[in-house]
Amino acid sequence: MSKAERKEREREMRRNDIIDAAEKLFFARGYENVTMDDIARELEMARATLYLSFKNKEDIYAAIAIRASNFVREMFQGLNRGGMTGLEKVRFVASTYYEFYTRYTGYYMAYYNTGMFDQDSTPELVELKKMRVGSMVMFVDAVKEGMKDGSIRDDIDPEETTLIILNTGNSALNLSPVTRLYMETYGLTQEKLYKHTIDMMIRSIENIKKDEKRTRQRPT
């Protein structure tokens, strides 16, 4: 291994150590309650050394969100199996998002809250935006496929429909205190609320006429 290769390897190892330490603190305390000094102390590293890898904590959080995006991408591998209609793929994506939320809540928060970064693009944010757009395109393609195979209505806009489903689903995961109060009043769980929300969204785009036609054609 050359000297340059060794230095690059050390740089990458230091970068991963920083992300690991920051991830631990962000998930335990919350993003807003962690500073660069906190991360440096966690690593027993000089703050100046920290800045050699990241210019601020927003960039570190974006790097964590990239990890989250990779988790989501792996979980979406089930979309590659054959035999699913476009509508079934939409359901699969929606249920997978909920699984991601419950299994990797900290990563979910990083994945969905990077909109706070109103700053000049950095390598981390450029990569993250590319990955997020890729996820959006995948969902849009599922809607378009459903419109083509007849499982989804053909009178909707696929891009607008995708945004509505995603935003509505996320609202059932990022609950306000007053919404939680209402849920407690009626004994509703977040899982039940999310699943009912997604079911309503999917029913609104489902091609009911085709399903009715299939029902009429079934032998008695």
What DSSP letter does each residue of 29-84 carry, written as one string? H-GGG--HHHHHHHHT--HHHHTTT-SSHHHHHHHHHHHHHHHHHHHGGGGGSSS-
pLDDT tens-digit series, residues 150-177: 999 999 999 999 999 999 999 999 999 9
Which residue ranges form the domains of the chain, and what is each CATH number? 1-54 (1.10.10.60), 56-217 (1.10.357.10)
Report the SS3 class of residue 189: coil
14-23, 65-74, 119-128: range with highest mean pLDDT: 14-23
Instruction: State how far the Cα of 96 lies from the Cα of 93, in Å rounded to an integer.
Output: 5
Residue 127 is predicted with a pLDDT of 83
Instruction: State how far the Cα of 158 lies from the Cα of 87, in Å rounded to an integer.
Output: 12
Q: What is the pTM of this model?
A: 0.82
Instruction: State how far the Cα of 72 lies from the Cα of 93, in Å rounded to an integer.
Output: 10
Mean per-residue pLDDT for 168-192?
Answer: 94
